[in-house]
Each structure stands twice: as structure tokens, then as C-alpha cells.
A = this chain, B = another copy of it.
Amino acid sequence: MNALSPLGMVSELPSSNQMQSDAERTDTNTGTEVQKDYFVEKDGVKFAGMHLLVDLWGADNLRDPDLIDHALREAAEAAGATILHGHFHHFSPNGGVSGVLVLAESHISIHTWPERDFASIDIFMCGCCDPYDSLPALKAAFQPKTVNLNEQRRGLIA
């Protein structure tokens, strides 16, 4: 953490050294822009991306913004995602944390209620990243007794 905001402790990490290329949008032969389709196709259906809503109960380490920041970065990287930006807010010295990573493939967010050992996470990934690959890092960091998982396909084309 590198700053104190008037609203609480804030961990603000700039874009990492992972790079995302926009070159794929340009046809190298003609130099013209290619209208790439960023939707994915799976099981015969087309959609924008997979959105996992993950509720953790009986979880640990919910008051530590540094640990939470690190856990979400590990989770993103485990899925092969590209981290563009991170922001983590600590509501009070012993309170909950709200944080988000903006990804080239969408986002991961977390909100913690340490007084209930509860955290709600959402992992939204489009492209070739699979948000399920993020789960082991989150389970390792927070050691939940129960995980409630809800999968949503965003932008589903019937």
C-alpha cells in the first residue's frame, strides 16, 4: 500500500508490466483495420464472456488489502489474464476491503465482510481466458469453508 486516502487505506497499483497488443486489429498485409469478433464460442453458443459470481463463507484473511491484492493478481495470472489496473480500498484498520482488477479480458472484483467471514468475488473474463482457472488461487488465499458458485454467460446469443 502506498497511500492513505481520506476515506481509508488505499492500495493503488498501476498497470503491470503485462502488455496487450492492439496489433491484431490491423491486417498486416493491407494495413487496414480488421473488424475482429471478440465474442467467444463454446458448446455451440456464442457469448461475450464468462462471469463467475463466487461467494466465500467461513473465509480467512478478509481484512488485509495487501494479501487480497496479491491473491487477486495471482488469480488473474493463473487464468492467463492481462492486468491493466488495480485498486483496493480498506474501509477501516480492521474493516472490510473492496477491490478490483481491471483486465484486458474484463475484471475481477472482491468485497469482504470480515465480521461474517464472508467475501463476494466476481470474475468476468472474455476471450480465451477461463475464470475457473482463477479459483484455486482464491481458495488458497482465503481458505473458505464453503464456496457458492454462480456461472453466467454474458452477452449470450441464442
Contacts and interface: CB of A to CB of B under 8 A. Distances in A.
A6 interface: yes
A2 interface: no
Contacts of A150: 152
A33 to B, nearest CB: 8
Interface residues of A, number: 52
A51 B49 contact: no
A120 B25 CA distance: 21
Copies in the complex: 2
Contacts of A126: 111
11 contacts: A5-B84, A7-B15, A25-B95, A33-B94, A39-B116, A51-B120, A51-B122, A106-B111, A107-B109, A107-B111, A150-B152
Interface of A: 5-8, 10, 15, 19-20, 22, 25, 33, 35-39, 48-49, 51, 53, 55, 84-85, 87, 89, 91-92, 94-96, 98-100, 102-104, 106-107, 109, 111, 113, 115-116, 118, 120, 122, 124, 126, 150, 152, 154-155
